[in-house]
Structure formats: structure tokens, C-alpha cells
Amino acid sequence: MLTGLHRRRGLQLFLGLLTGIVFGFLLQKGGVTRYEVIVGQLLLVDFTVVKVMLSAVVVGMLGVHIMKSLGLVELHPKPDSIGSVVVGGLLFGAGFAAMGYCPGTLVGAVGNGYLDAAAGGAGVLLGAGIFAALYGRLQKRVLRIAQPRSLTIPELLNVNRWVVAIPAMVFILLLLWWIDGLGR
């Protein structure tokens, strides 16, 4: 673990900016800063978004789990309950279809000149603010519905991470191969 590097706050802010520049560059080159591409995915006529996401996941999974096995990195699984991702996912999905961008790609879309994404960004800020205002009440009950015992699938099954990672990567590659064959 490069803990010395992780503690250097100023340098980390710079690395964050650099990561974002590369991420934004890739999102624009992938076409996912476009309303047409996002809505086309949700209408199942253009599979660019799923192709980008699944290739990122399969490549990311391989490298991150190798580095984890070598003791070079720590994982950071999100602590959210099943209930909160079901409700949040449906709300998010509905808004995703109406806006035609997600929180990351809307910022890239503005960089691309797509100014309707800026109105969406203002909405995301308001939505995040509304959530913060509701949080005290939601936190006690709603956000804890179906909290899993452990966060990652290998921990839940009590198996080595590769027992899950290898089949997951094979599954994603097969899915990509099938989607590619659809020609969309």
C-alpha cells in the first residue's frame, strides 16, 4: 500500500483532477456524453453504454483483485442496504431516462457543449439537497431495509474472491459477446 502517497492531500487533489480529465476524455470519445446514446441504450436500440460499462468492469475487476491479492490495494465496497439500492436505483433510472445523462456524464456533456445537461446538473444538486434534508428521518428505518451481513459477494458466500471473480468475468465476457452479436 502506498499509504505515504495517499496521505499527501494536495497531490491527491491533483491526482483526482487528472483522473477526472482522463475519465472525461474517455467518456466523450465513447459517445456517452450524448443524450441520444444514453436514451438509445434505455430504449435498447444502442448498446454503447452497456458495452463501455461492462468492459470497464471486467478490466477493472481483473486488475483490482490481482492488486488486492498482492496486498497493494484495499477495497471500498459501499455500505448501502438492498432496500436503499432498489428504491434509489428505480428513482435514479427514471431520472436518468428523463435527463438523458448521469451525474458523471452530465458534466462531460456540458464540456461537449450540450447545455441541457447543465439544467440537469442543477436538478441533481437540488435532488442531493432534498435527500440531505430527508436523511435524518430516512436513516432510522428506510435506508436499513435488508442490510446484508457482508458487503461483497465473496464475503457473503465465505469463499476466496477469485471463486466469484473468475465466473463473474466469464459471465460478463459472454454477455458482451452476445450483445456484440446483436449489432446495436
Partner 1 sequence: MGFLTEVRWSPYVVGAGIGVLSWLTFLLSDKAIGCSTAFSRTSGMLGRLFRGRDRIESNPYYRQFPPVIDWEWMLVLGIFIGALLSALLSGDLDPRWVPPAWEARFGGAVLPRLAVSFGGGILVGLGARWAGGCTSGHGISGTLQLTLSSWIMAVFIFLGGIAAAMLIHGAPQSGGM
DSSP designation for 157: H
Verify binding: residue 92, partner 1, rule CB under 8 A. Answer: yes
Quick note: the x/- pattern for partner 1 over 52-91, rule CB under 8 A, is xxxxxxxxxxxxx--x----xxxxxxxxxxx-xxxxxxxx
Q: Tell me the closest approach of the beta carbon of residue 149 to partner 1, in angstroms.
A: 10
Give the torsion sign (CA, 123, 124, 128, 131): positive
Q: At what angle do helices 48-69 and 161-182 cross, to 10 degrees?
A: 160
Give the interface size with partner 1 as a residue count (CB under 8 A): 129
Indicate whether 159 belongs to the interface with partner 1 (CB under 8 A). Answer: no
Out of 4, 69, 71, 108, point to the residue binding partner 1 (CB under 8 A).
108
Within 3-32, the residues that bind partner 1 by CB under 8 A are 3, 5-6, 12-32
Shortest Cβ distance from residue 178 to partner 1 (Å)?
Answer: 14
Is residue 119 within 8 A of residue 35, CB to CB? The reply is no
Task: Choose among 177, 183, 156, 152: nearest CA to 54.
Answer: 177
- Is residue 131 involved in binding partner 1 (CB under 8 A)? yes
Q: How far is the CB of 12 from partner 1 (least distance, A)?
A: 5
Residue 171 as a binder of partner 1 (CB under 8 A): the answer is: no
C-alpha cell at 80: 448501502
Q: Which of 45, 170, 174, 175 binds partner 1 (CB under 8 A)?
A: 45
51 neighbors 176 (Cβ within 8 angstroms): yes
Cα 169 off chain centre by:
17
**24 Cβ partners below 8 Å, 6+ apart?**
107, 108, 111
Task: Tell the smallest beta-carbon distance from residue 148 to partner 1 (Å).
Answer: 6
